[in-house]
Structure 1
Amino acid sequence: MQLLTTFATFVALGTLGSCQSITKVSGFKDGPTSLGMYVYVPKKLTAPAPIIVAIHHCQGSAQAYSTESHYMPLADSHGFILIYPNSRSSGGCFDVASTASLSHNGGGDSQTIANMVKYAVANYGGDANRTFVTGTSSGAMMTNVMVGAYPDVFKAGSAYSGVPDGCFFVSGATATQDPPGWSNACANGQVTKTAEEWGNLVRSYYPDYTGPRPRMQIWHGTSDNTLHYPNYQEMMKQWSNVLKLTTSKNTANTPQSGYTQTIYGDGTAATAELVGYSAQGVGHTVPVHESMDLAFFGIA
């Protein structure tokens, strides 16, 4: 995983949004795991406001990811709340390997992140009906987990260089072990399933859920040597099955040279239920395309 320099600037909640920096929410205690919750709330905010959860990669942090990605200026322009979960592990990774995290209300990192959304709705004027999640690498893996286990919380996700929901499962892994469980076979792109098998995994993590499923946007580089490229097709197979989509259309050099866009089902890049971007020659990780995320989320 890439190594980033951690940068942190803290401001009081009373002046939050006066400059582009995040603050730790000391009042958030609703684990069940001890992730830190950091937020960015623009000064000019009309409630109820959309919420975007942005999840960092291994060897990263909420503070570093808030500056590495560039969502904060867009939050000022478009009036949405940002939540940056901060990993509790020494390596900065999130737990996507345990049954606790993979399952709805299972007691893992995913439940803690879902509780952060509820906290933002209750305390910052967030809109529970316009909540989205994105992330890079470990954060992308957790993005897939979040939309799989909490389709009642999130409306859409955008995953940068991740793996399918459930691919990283490690038997015996726990929600609190440090470092979290790691699956070499999944990371190396050696775990393959049919679309239905992947879809059944997602459905098994919240078996009582019968409502609509979140829309998904997937990004992956063909030269990814950390979470290898075969994971891209496995993710596309998984979410096409979950979303009950059977037809797709490819467009070369979109949104830029070397990227191939795949749209499943009907709609445009901003409105379709499933959109993928295969980035030729790009390694780990695909650069964040913030404005495209907002368009996909229906915020801009």
Structure 2
Amino acid sequence: MYVYVPKKLASLAPIIVAIHHCQGSAQGYSTETHYQPLADTHGFILIYPNSRSSGGCFDVSSTATLTHNGGGDSQTIANMVKYAATTYGGDLDHVFVTGTSSGAMMTNVMVGAYPDVFKAGSVYSGVPDGCFYVSGATATQDPPGWSNACANGQLTHTAKEWGDMVRSYYPGYNGTRPRMQIFHGTADQTLHYPNYQETLKEWSDVLGVSKTGDKANTPQSGYTQTIYGDGTTTTAQLVGYSAQGVGHTVPVHESMDLAFFGITS
């Protein structure tokens, strides 16, 4: 657990968990992304988990990590949030998570297994929550749980099948589900583009929303925005961004994340 606490915290300081990619590190992701200057401006706390695997990937495929309070990487990260709130004064009512590649997969896992902890997630170039698990990957591998079928975009399910998997992580949970923002590049050759639609299918079922419209060249040329449910880009339950011609991975859009999380307007 690596933490960045700005000198001046907001009175109710939000917490953002930012999760690195395979072959990455907490320290590396803290410099690759540009959340820290924004934390100085807006007074939020940053947590950078660091993978313990030799390949730098996170466990997104074990039963433990896909179970609320079941152990594994997911519970470790959830505990980091509680520690930061107690130690640094973060606000547990304003906790968010984001990540790239393996970190994007872990973001999906965190939102699925700990909907009581996180209010929203932003995913950069990942796969559907549980995709490596249902494809038969195991967490005893290193990198943990890699699945070619899932990575290559060959695994498809109905929206309800994906949604049922997410709901199974925390049986009996009837509270609010976190809002989700999904980015994916059409030229991704690592976690192939079909994973984008499967991820949107999954969260649309979990959140109970349907597609309401597309908008080309938003937020920039070549990106197509898709909104599910009512609202704008900063209030809708589910928003997707397809990045034409972009490979692995979509560049992090930090300011968009803060707006989606409600930290900025």
Q: TM-score range by the shorter chain?
A: over 0.9
**How far did 1:172 drift?**
7.1
Deviations 1:181-214 (A, max 9, x none): 1111000000100111110010011112110100
**How far did 1:262 drift?**
0.2
Residue pair 1:98, 1:171 contacting (<8 A) in 2 also: no
Residue pair 2:137, 2:146 contacting (<8 A) in 1 also: no
TM-score by length of 2: 0.97
Deviations 1:25-67 (A, max 9, x none): xxxxxxxxxxxx0000000113431000000000000000000
1:263 maps to amino acid: I
Q: Does 1:150 align with 2:111?
A: no
In the alignment, the residues of structure 2 paired with residue 80 and residue 230 of structure 1 have an alpha-carbon distance, to the nearest angstrom, of: 34
Q: Does 1:95 align with 2:59?
A: yes
Residue pair 1:131, 1:153 contacting (<8 A) in 2 also: yes
Residue pair 2:24, 2:56 contacting (<8 A) in 1 also: yes
Show the counterpart of 2:96. Answer: 132
Q: CA RMSD in A?
A: 1.1
Correspondence list, 1:115-126, <5 A: 115-126=79-90
2:92 maps to amino acid: A
Residue pair 2:58, 2:73 contacting (<8 A) in 1 also: yes
Which of residues 105, 111, 124 in structure 1 aligns to 2:69? Answer: 105
Q: Does 1:71 align with 2:45?
A: no
Show the counterpart of 2:189. Answer: 225
Show the counterpart of 1:274. Answer: 238
1:282 maps to amino acid: V
**How far did 1:247 drift?**
3.3
DSSP 3-state at the match of 1:147: helix
Over alpha carbons, which structure has the higher Rg? Answer: 1
Query: Identity, % of aligned pairs?
Result: 81
Which of residues 199, 202, 207 in structure 1 aligns to 2:163? Answer: 199
Which of structure 1's runs of 4+ aligned residues deviate more than 3 A? none
In the alignment, the residues of structure 2 paired with residue 154 and residue 219 of structure 1 have an alpha-carbon distance, to the nearest angstrom, of: 19
In the alignment, the residues of structure 2 paired with residue 243 and residue 46 of structure 1 have an alpha-carbon distance, to the nearest angstrom, of: 30
In the alignment, the residues of structure 1 paired with residue 250 and residue 37 of structure 2 have an alpha-carbon distance, to the nearest angstrom, of: 20
Q: Does 1:52 align with 2:24?
A: no
In the alignment, the residues of structure 2 paired with residue 248 and residue 189 of structure 1 have an alpha-carbon distance, to the nearest angstrom, of: 25
**How far did 1:178 drift?**
3.3
Deviations 1:109-150 (A, max 9, x none): 000000000000110000000000000000000000000000
Show the counterpart of 2:152. Answer: 188
**How far did 1:171 drift?**
4.1
Residue pair 1:185, 1:191 contacting (<8 A) in 2 also: yes
Distance 1:228 1:172, change over 3 A: closer
In the alignment, the residues of structure 2 paired with residue 173 and residue 153 of structure 1 have an alpha-carbon distance, to the nearest angstrom, of: 26
* Alignment length (residue pairs): 263
Residue pair 2:3, 2:48 contacting (<8 A) in 1 also: yes
Show the counterpart of 1:30. Answer: none
Deviations 1:245-294 (A, max 9, x none): 12320000000000000010111111111000000000000000000000
Task: Please list every run of 5 or more consecutive structure 1 residues that lacks an aligned counterpart in the other structure.
Answer: 1-36
In the alignment, the residues of structure 1 paired with residue 197 and residue 98 of structure 2 have an alpha-carbon distance, to the nearest angstrom, of: 19
1:233 maps to amino acid: Q
Which of residues 211, 217, 238 in structure 2 aligns to 1:247? Answer: 211
In the alignment, the residues of structure 2 paired with residue 288 and residue 101 of structure 1 have an alpha-carbon distance, to the nearest angstrom, of: 25
In the alignment, the residues of structure 1 paired with residue 102 and residue 59 of structure 2 have an alpha-carbon distance, to the nearest angstrom, of: 9
Task: Please list every run of 5 or more consecutive structure 2 residues that lacks an aligned counterpart in the other structure.
Answer: none
Show the counterpart of 2:262. Answer: 298
In the alignment, the residues of structure 2 paired with residue 285 and residue 86 of structure 1 have an alpha-carbon distance, to the nearest angstrom, of: 19
In the alignment, the residues of structure 2 paired with residue 181 and residue 233 of structure 1 have an alpha-carbon distance, to the nearest angstrom, of: 22
DSSP 3-state at the match of 2:6: coil
In the alignment, the residues of structure 2 paired with residue 172 and residue 198 of structure 1 have an alpha-carbon distance, to the nearest angstrom, of: 17
Which of residues 235, 246, 264 in structure 1 aligns to 2:199? Answer: 235
In the alignment, the residues of structure 1 paired with residue 11 and residue 116 of structure 2 have an alpha-carbon distance, to the nearest angstrom, of: 20
